[in-house]
Structures are given as structure tokens and as C-alpha cells.
Amino acid sequence: MDINKLVRKNIEQLTPYQSARRIGGSGDVWLNANEYPTAPQFNLTIESLNRYPEPQPEDVINRYADYAGVKPDQLIVSRGADEAIELLMRAFCEPNQDSILYCPPTYGMYQVSAETLGIETKIVPTRSDWQLDLNAIRKNLDTVKLIYVCSPNNPTGNLIDQADIKKLLELAKNRALVVIDEAYIEFCPESSIVSWLADYPHLVILRTLSKAFALAGLRCGFTIANKPVIDALQKVIAPYPLAVPVADIAAQALTPKGIASMQSQVAKINQQKEKLIADLAKLPIVEKIYPSSANYLSVKFQADKAVFNQLWSIGIILRDQSRSTGEEGMIRITIGTEAECDAVIAALKEIK
């Protein structure tokens, strides 16, 4: 029996998300997934695993609401921000009818989730400065229910102009939700637009514990929006999205002490980023280092130097972005420890 004949057509044709882990590699220096380079310590405090978890664990919700400056009813917690990306589509898009819009180069899961669900995608590339092309977006809004914008943008690192996000919110009024993916906002907290929720019923903000909080392995993310949006998501989310140990650790990460250590992690990474920029700037094979508001750098290397493959072969795993950006030699480098960044620089110096 050919099981493939039973698989949905769109799934048969689907290219799954090329996650850093899926791409693989082997070595000691992993700077390809924008993770924090060291692990915070936690103890499990809840042992009653015979019981189902709270659907939306109260401590996690209250503490994150406090941290984010929103009300608990403006928040839903999910299995990473990735689940939130998909929940929005499941709640707001009719398959084979509605569409989502996004602006590459950007995060790959918007496309993958839409394809999985049979939702059409309108792809409006950013301008050459990696900012929104509002005119092209305006012309492509038919049938669009969700517009995904990542700021700071992954993989490029730049913030999206706030005046443009305001214009986008005006364009989308009464027709679509504008979803701002703030996965990296802790590295530039002054740039969050969470305070705009009061003025825009169709604004949605995505957050995660995977990056600045150093908990990518925990799988915990948040959607912030006004209550009607949250209520719609509550209808489609799994009954028990967070395992008991996940909620236990997330609640600890969101205590005042947990938030203080996240902030010191951010300070360390931002400092290390400045050092890496200075070190890279001295290398002749580096053509351009793009400004970054996140925990990674987009760097354009001389195209003929095969930098990505060279470093891969000695166990320094970076993220090749030549295809996503259309620029040969473009590589995204996660800011790691000082030793990891120094290993990158030492390896680059060996390339003639």
C-alpha cells in the first residue's frame, strides 16, 4: 500500500522548515540558531505529573503580563512562538480562500505554516534597505487576513521602521490583523510596540522565551493582543499546550530574579556583539556588516571565499543566508560566548 497516495497534496509538496537542527552539522561552535550560548539553571518544583496541567498556567500568565506591561486577558501562552504563528492562521484564515502576507527575507515559518494549512501566501519582498514596501503591500491586500512582520527582523537584524508599521496598521484597518514578531525584542526593549495595543484592535505581538531568556529547549512563547483576538486563539489552542515541567520552569524564569538574569544575559550579548563587529571589521574578506538590533549579525563576505563551507568543515556552524537574501556570501552569525566569537575570527583569518 502506497501511503503517499493518502497524504494531503499540499503536504506531499511541502518543503519542511529548514531548522538549524534539521540542517545538521557537527562541531563545537553552534552559532546558527540564535540561541543563548549557555544554559540557566532550574529545579523542577512540581511533581504531580499524574494530573493534567493548567491550560493557561496562572503564574506564567500573570508574571509575563506584568513583565510585558499588559493585562492577563491580553495574553496567551503556547508551545513556542512557532505555535502562535500557526494558531493565528487556524483562527483567522479560511483554507483555500484567505491568505497571509509576509515580506522576505524574513522568518521561514510564516510560509511553512500557511502551506501546511492550505492557506495562500502573498509574498511582498522588502525594499533593498530591508524595510517594508508599503505600496506593494497595499496592492496585495485582497483576501489577506494576517500580515506577518518580524522586528528586529530575522535573518537581517534590522528593526522595521515604526512609522511604516503605523501606516501598515492604517492600511490593514477593518480587514486584517498585523502580527509583529518580537522574538528578539529583549535585545532592544525600547523598540517594542506593545503600548500601541490600546490604539489598534488588530495589532498582535509575538514573543518567546527561546532567545534572550535562553530557553529555546523549553518551547514556550506568547501572543499579546486585545481580548477579542486572544479569545479566538483560546478556541483553537490544544487543551493542555504546556507540559507541567515547562510551566514550572517558565514561571521561575519570569520571577524578578529570572528577569534580572535575562537582562544581564542581554547586556553580555550586546557587549559581545560590539566586540565581534569590531573584530570582523578588520578582516579583508568581510564586505559589509549590517546593523543589528538582535543577538546575531548579518555579514556579507567576499562571495568567492566559500566562508560558510570552510567554517562548517572545521565545526563552526553558521547560517547561510545567500539564498534567502539573494546575496552571495551573506551569512548570519549568532552572537555566542567570547571564546566562540574568537573561534570564528580565528577561522576567518585562515581563509586567504
Q: Report the nearest approach of ligand PLP to the CB of residue 209 (Å).
A: 7
Position 80 contacts ligand PLP (CB under 6 A): yes
Q: Which is nearer to ligand PLP, 36 or 301 (CB)?
A: 36
Q: Which is nearer to ligand PLP, 82 or 115 (CB)?
A: 82
CA dist 4 and 7 (Å) reads: 5
Using CB under 6 A as the binding rule, the residues of this chain from 117 to 156 that contact ligand PLP are 150, 154
Residue 350, classified by CB atoms within 10 Å of its CB into exposed (0-12), middle (13-18) or buried (19+), is exposed
Q: Report the nearest approach of ligand PLP to the CB of residue 160 (Å).
A: 12
Using CB under 6 A as the binding rule, the residues of this chain from 201 to 230 that contact ligand PLP are 208, 210, 216, 221
Q: Which is nearer to ligand PLP, 200 or 222 (CB)?
A: 222
Give 174-177 contacts, CB < 8 A, sequence gap 24+: 175/141, 175/144, 175/145, 176/101, 176/141, 176/144, 176/145, 176/146, 176/147, 176/202, 177/88, 177/92, 177/145, 177/146, 177/147, 177/202, 177/203, 177/204, 177/225, 177/229
Position 89 contacts ligand PLP (CB under 6 A): no
Count CA within 13 A, CB hemisphere, residue 78: 24
Residue nearest to ligand PLP (CB): 80
CA dist 75 and 67 (Å) reads: 12
79, 95, 118, 120, 249 from 57: Cα distances, Å: 13, 31, 31, 34, 11
Q: Report the nearest approach of ligand PLP to the CB of residue 216 (Å).
A: 6
Q: CA torsion 323→21→87→111, rounded to 10°?
A: 10
Of the candidate residues 61, 68, 81, 299, the single one contacting ligand PLP (CB under 6 A): 81
Q: Report the nearest approach of ligand PLP to the CB of residue 180 (Å).
A: 10
- The DSSP element (H or E) to which 206 belongs, if any, is strand 203-208
Of the candidate residues 20, 82, 99, 156, the single one contacting ligand PLP (CB under 6 A): 82
Q: Report the nearest approach of ligand PLP to the CB of residue 139 (Å).
A: 25
**Binding-site string for ligand PLP from residue 16 to residue 55, where x marks contact by CB under 6 A and - marks none:** ------------------x---------------------
- Give the 3-state secondary structure of residue 220: coil
Position 112 contacts ligand PLP (CB under 6 A): no
CA dist 153 and 301 (Å) reads: 20
Taking CB under 6 A as the binding criterion, the range among 16-24, 77-85, 252-260, 266-274 that sits at the site for ligand PLP is 77-85
Count CA within 13 A, CB hemisphere, residue 50: 1
CB burial of 241-280 (b: ≥16 within 10 Å; e: otherwise) equals bbbbbbbbbbbbbbeeebbebbeebbebbbebbeebbebb
Taking CB under 6 A as the binding criterion, the range among 80-88, 137-145, 270-278, 280-288 that sits at the site for ligand PLP is 80-88
Of the candidate residues 181, 248, 320, 340, the single one contacting ligand PLP (CB under 6 A): 181
Q: How many residues bind ligand PLP (CB under 6 A)?
A: 13
Position 183 contacts ligand PLP (CB under 6 A): yes
Q: Provide Rg for the chain, Cα atoms.
A: 20
Q: Report the nearest approach of ligand PLP to the CB of residue 10 (Å).
A: 22
Q: Which is nearer to ligand PLP, 92 or 148 (CB)?
A: 148
Of the candidate residues 30, 36, 92, 107, the single one contacting ligand PLP (CB under 6 A): 107
Please report, as ranges, the residues that interact with ligand PLP according to CB under 6 A. 34, 80-82, 107, 150, 154, 181, 183, 208, 210, 216, 221
